[in-house]
A and B are shown apart, each in its own frame.
Chain A
Amino acid sequence: MGAAYLANEYAPIVIFLVIAVLMGAAPLVLTVLLAEQRPDAEKNSAYECGFEAFEDARLQIDVRFYLLAILFVVFDLESAFLFPWAIVLDDIGLFGFVEMMLFLFILVVGYAYAWKKGALQWE
Chain B
Amino acid sequence: MANVTFPFPFPEHLSALLPEILVAVLAMALLIVDLFVPKERKALTGYLSLATILVAGVALMQVADGTSVTAFYGFFTLDPFAVFSKLLILAGTAIAIIMSLDYIRSEENVGEYFVLMLFAMLGMMLLVSANNFVTMYLGIELMALSIYVLVGYQRDTLRSNEAALKYFILGSLSSGMLLYGITFFYGVTSSLDFKQIGEALAAAPSSEHTAVLLGLVFIIAGLAFKVSMAPFHMWTPDAYEGAPTPITAFMSAAPKVAGFVVFVRIVADALPALEHETVMILSGMAVLTMAVGNLAAIAQRNIKRMLAYSTIGHVGFVTLGLIAGSGSGYAGMLVYLAIYLFMGMGAFAVIVLMRREGIQGELLDDFAGLAKVRPGYALAMGLLLFSLAGIPFLGGFWAKYAVFIAAVQAGHVYLVIYALLFSVVGAFYYIRVVKYMYFDEARVPFDFSENRLMQATVALTAMAVVVLGIYPDPLMELCRQAVIGIG
Instruction: Please tell me if A49 contacts chain B, counting CB pairs below 8 Å.
Output: no
Q: List 8 A-B contacts (CB under 8 A).
A: A1-B204, A1-B209, A3-B210, A5-B188, A5-B210, A6-B211, A96-B8, A117-B35
Q: What are the residues of chain B within 8 A of A91 when measuring CB–CB?
A: 6-7
| Shortest distance from the beta carbon of A12 to any chain B beta carbon, whole Å | 13
Interface residue B358 (Cβ < 8 Å from any Cβ of A): no
A72 within 8 A of B: no
Q: A1-B212, A5-B187 are in contact. Are A109 and B8 (CB under 8 A)?
A: no
Are A95 and B211 CB-contacts (below 8 A) given A1-B204, A109-B32? Answer: no
Give bound CA distance, A58 to B58, whole Å.
56
Inter-chain contact A93/B7, CB cutoff 8 Å: yes
Q: Considering only CB atoms, which chain A residue lies closest to B187 in the complex?
A: A9
CB distance from B483 to the nearest CB of A (A): 31
- Once A9-B187, A93-B8, A95-B10 are accepted as A-B contacts, the answer to whether A1 and B35 lie under 8 Å apart by CB is no
Bound Cα distance A109, B115 (Å): 13
Among residues of B, the one whose C-beta sits closest to the C-beta of A93 is B7
Chain B interface residue count, Cβ-Cβ cutoff 8 angstroms: 20
A43 at the interface (CB under 8 A from B): no
B208 to chain A: closest CB distance in Å? 3
Chain B residues near A (Cβ < 8 Å):
6-11, 28, 31-32, 35, 187-188, 204, 207-212, 214
**For A90, what are the chain B residues with a Cβ–Cβ distance below 8 Å?**
7
> Is A112 interfacial (CB-CB < 8 Å)?
yes
B188 near A109 with CB under 8 A, answer no
With a cutoff of 8 Å between Cβ atoms, the chain A residues found around residue B8 in the complex are 92-93, 95-96
**Assembled-state Cα–Cα distance A112/B28 (Å):** 11
Min CB–CB distance A96 → chain B (angstroms) = 6
Task: A2 to B10: give the CA distance in the assembly, Å.
Answer: 39
Whether the Cβ atoms of B28 and A106 lie closer than 8 Å is yes
Question: CA–CA, A90 to B204, complex, Å?
Answer: 40
| B67, chain A: closest CB distance, angstroms | 25
CA distance A112 to B36 in the complex (A): 13
Q: Which of A2, A9, A92, A112 contacts B210, CB < 8 Å?
A: A2
16 other A-B residue contacts (CB within 8 Å) besides A90-B7, A116-B35: A1-B204, A1-B210, A2-B208, A2-B211, A3-B210, A4-B208, A5-B188, A6-B214, A91-B6, A92-B6, A92-B8, A93-B8, A96-B8, A113-B32, A113-B35, A116-B32
